[in-house]
Amino acid sequence: MQRIGFMLKVKSDKLAEYKAQHQAVWPEMLDALRRTGWHNYSLFMAGDGLLFGYFETPESFQAALAGMAQEDVNARWQEFMAPYFEQLGGLHADESMVQLEQVFYLA
């Protein structure tokens, strides 16, 4: 199992809305994440909108992203959530995730 950490940035004027959207993630989106190997998926956000995401997957970060790219619901979710993020440069959030290097793990 691969442990994946990534970062994004939520716009400061959208923090409350972003949190609210994640209280009601579409059931079909949750199913797609599970189906494509996203396990123990968590999001953490600092007060300035810095977002840290973590999940575990049996393959790689790229394989997990590729699996989701094949899901119709992912395209709709990414389009719906795009206005919440800073510095996407015309891409969707899942195309702009900055993967972090794991430097320590205590089992």
Residues designated as active site: 22
Instruction: Determine contact, residues 61/98, Cβ cutoff 8 Å.
Output: no
Assign 85 to helix, strand or coil. strand
Distance, CA of 92 to CA of 86 (rounded, Å): 10
Instruction: Determine contact, residues 97/6, Cβ cutoff 8 Å.
Output: yes
Query: What sign does the CA torsion over 6, 11, 15, 21 have?
Result: negative
